[in-house]
């Protein structure tokens, strides 16, 4: 008899506090800030696996442009709320990574969203999508936030 083992995928956690400038006059977060925070979570993820965006851009001439993004809001956030974004990768293709972000305040889910990002070579005034370089691909796989079956 085979015993099925549950695979528990890791997540990358990005912690932050809602600042006054992130809110409207009533102290409620202005919704476009969720997109800013998803962007920051993705950038900090790359930094955590050894590829800070500053190094990628300056030394490797590689960027991670955003192709698509969406966020669903379930509950509001307020000034001084402590928030964590739990990030996973739902899919990695030859040139594209699909990030999934879930926002939590304490144990309450506040919002969820996704980003589709390309890996692109920075040229003279343009970006050209390239295959994800092997060192980056290996670091993503080693981080454990994606299942092998979701690598296409």
C-alpha 147/C-alpha 46 separation (Å) is: 17
Q: What percent of the chain has a predicted confidence (pLDDT) above 70?
A: 91
C-alpha 138/C-alpha 151 separation (Å) is: 11
The reported pTM is: 0.90
Mean pLDDT for all residues in the chain? 91
Q: Kindly report, residue by residue over 36-70, the tens digit of the pLDDT.
A: 999 999 999 999 999 999 999 999 999 999 999 99
C-alpha 63/C-alpha 53 separation (Å) is: 7
The pLDDT of residue 112 is: 97
Domains annotated on the chain, with CATH: 12-150 (3.10.129.10)
DSSP strand pairing (82-92 vs 62-63):
unpaired
C-alpha 8/C-alpha 150 separation (Å) is: 14
């Amino acid at each position: 008899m085979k015993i099925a083992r549950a695979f528990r995928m890791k997540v990358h956690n990005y912690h932050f506090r809602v600042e006054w400038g992130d809110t409207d006059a009533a102290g409620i977060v202005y919704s476009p800030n969720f997109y800013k925070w998803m962007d920051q979570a993705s950038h900090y993820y790359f930094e955590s696996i050894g590829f800070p965006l500053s190094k990628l851009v300056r030394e490797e001439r590689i960027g991670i442009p955003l192709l698509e993004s969406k966020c669903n809001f379930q509950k509001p956030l307020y000034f001084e709320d402590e928030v964590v974004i739990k990030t996973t990768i739902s899919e990695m293709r030859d040139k594209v990574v699909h990030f999934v972000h879930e926002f939590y305040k304490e144990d309450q889910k506040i919002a969820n969203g996704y980003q589709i990002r390309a890996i692109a070579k920075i040229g003279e005034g343009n970006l050209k999508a390239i295959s994800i370089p092997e060192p980056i691909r290996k670091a993503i796989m080693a981080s454990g936030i994606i299942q092998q079956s979701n690598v296409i």
